[in-house]
């Protein structure tokens, strides 16, 4: 699906033109995401628990959009780095400009133990793509402390963990029943 590039015949009519757009954006990390990033470097996953409804947001956003209340450091909680795959998809990468993926890859939602916090778009490791299941128990594979990198975390992604966590690997525990998750927690 890569667009054809304009290849004008040197003498024929010009029917196409190229335009290369390149824009750079430099943004300050917002305080709650900055704090989240610092904790990631330390090997901890943190979220904000809404003081009103108890839903947990990871990474913290500084508010609960459901209750429309602000959340602060006082609402911070540390979350488990293991949980259950609640949904996933296997993506066959489309080769658009800038795409680096070439082989099918998994993106999973992992609901962390001990609450409702879910991490979306997570990579799974040590499991073949066709063996991924809803209900599978997984644990974070942290990078060695020296290799952890939060430079990719931005306000846009609300802070992914991929610079600090290689992915999530099966723990070997029995699966939780899929019905418990389907349609309840998702991307």
Partner 1 sequence: MCSTPAVPDAPLTTHTIEFPYTRTLGPVVGPFLTGLRDGHLLGVRNRDGRVLVPPLEWDPATGEPIDADFVEVGPAGTVETWAWVGEPTRKHPLDHPFAFALIRLDGADTGLLHAVDAGSPDRMHTGMRVTARWKGERIGHITDLTFVPEEAR
Partner 2 sequence: MSRPAAVVGIGQTKHKKRRDDVSLPGLVREAAQRALDDADLTWTDIDAVVLGKAPDPFEGVMMPELSLADALGAAGKPIMRVHTAGSVGGSTALVATHLVQTGLHDRVLTVAYEKQAEGNAQWGLAGGRSGGMGAGGIFAPWMRSYMARSGAPEHIGWMVAVKDRRNAAKNPYAHLQMPDLTIEEVKDSPMLWEPIHWHESCPSSDGACALVLTTEDGAKRSPHPPAWVLGTAMRSELGTFPGRDPVRPQAGVECAHEVYDAAGITEPRRQVDIAELYVPFSWYEPMWLEGHDIAGPGDGWRMVESGETQIDGAFPVNPSGGVLSSNPIGASGMLRFAEAALQVRGRAGEHQVPDAKVGLAQAYGGAAQYFAMWVVGATLDAVDQTR
Partner 3 sequence: MADIAIVGYAQSPSWRQSELTEPQFLFPVISEAIQQAHVERRDIGFTCAGSCDYLSGQTFAFVMNLEAVGAWPPISESHVEMDGAWALYEAWVRLQHGDIDLALVFGSGKSSPGLPSEIYPLQLDPYTLTPLGADPVSLAALQARAMLDKGTITEREMAEIALRSRQHGATNPYAQVKDGRGDVDAMLAEPYVTAPLRRHDLPPISDGASAVVLATADKARAVCDRPVWIRGIDHRIEPHQPGMRDLTESLSTRQAGNHAGVADRPVDVAELSATFSHQEKLLREALGLGDRVEINPSGGALCANPVMAVGLARIAEAARAIRERGATRAVAHATSGQCLQQNLVCVLEGA
Return the range that interacts with partner 2 (CB under 8 A); candidates 30-38, 75-83, 100-108, 140-148.
Answer: 100-108
Spatial strand order of the sheet with 76-79 comes to 56-57, 45-49, 76-79
Tokens of 179: 């019905």
Q: Which of 30, 77, 125, 132 binds partner 3 (CB under 8 A)?
A: 30
Contacts of 161 (CB under 8 A, 6+ apart): 40, 45, 119, 122, 140
Peptide bond into 59 cis (omega under 30): yes
Interaction partner, residue 68 (partner 1, partner 2, partner 3, none; CB < 5-8 Å by kind): partner 3
Q: Is 26 in the site for partner 1 (CB under 8 A)?
A: yes
Q: Is 50 in the site for partner 1 (CB under 8 A)?
A: no
Q: Is 70 in the site for partner 3 (CB under 8 A)?
A: yes
Alpha carbon of 64 to those of 45, 60, 61, 88: distances in Å?
Answer: 18, 9, 7, 25
Tokens of 181: 């998750």
Q: Which of 123, 154, 176, 178 binds partner 1 (CB under 8 A)?
A: 154
Q: Is 1 in the site for partner 1 (CB under 8 A)?
A: no
Residue 57 or 168: which CB sits closer to partner 1?
57
Residues β-bridged to residue 87: 109
Q: Is 15 in the site for partner 1 (CB under 8 A)?
A: yes
Q: Which of 43, 51, 62, 135 binds partner 1 (CB under 8 A)?
A: 62
- b/e 23-33 (16+ beta carbons within 10 angstroms → b): eeeeeeebebb
Interacting residues with partner 2 (CB under 8 A): 1-4, 15-16, 19, 21, 55-56, 65-66, 87-94, 96-101, 105, 107, 109, 116-118, 120-121, 134, 156, 178-179, 182-187
């Amino acid at each position: 699906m890569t667009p054809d590039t304009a290849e004008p015949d040197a003498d024929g009519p010009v029917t196409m033109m190229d335009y290369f757009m390149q824009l750079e954006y430099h943004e300050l990390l917002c305080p709650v995401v900055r704090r989240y990033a610092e904790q990631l470097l330390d090997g901890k996953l943190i979220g904000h628990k809404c003081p009103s409804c108890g839903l947990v947001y990871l990474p913290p956003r500084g508010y609960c959009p459901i209750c429309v209340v602000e959340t602060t450091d006082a609402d911070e909680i540390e979350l488990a780095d293991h949980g259950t795959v609640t949904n996933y998809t296997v993506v066959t990468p489309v080769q658009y400009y800038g795409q680096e993926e070439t082989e099918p890859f998994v993106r999973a939602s992992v609901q962390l133990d001990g609450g409702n916090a879910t991490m979306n778009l997570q990579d799974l490791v040590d499991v073949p793509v066709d063996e991924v299941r809803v209900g599978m128990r997984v644990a974070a594979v942290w990078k060695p402390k020296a290799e952890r990198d939060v430079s990719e975390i931005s306000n846009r992604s609300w802070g992914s963990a991929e610079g600090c966590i290689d992915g999530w690997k099966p723990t070997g525990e029995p699966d939780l029943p899929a019905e418990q998750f389907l349609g309840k927690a998702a991307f």
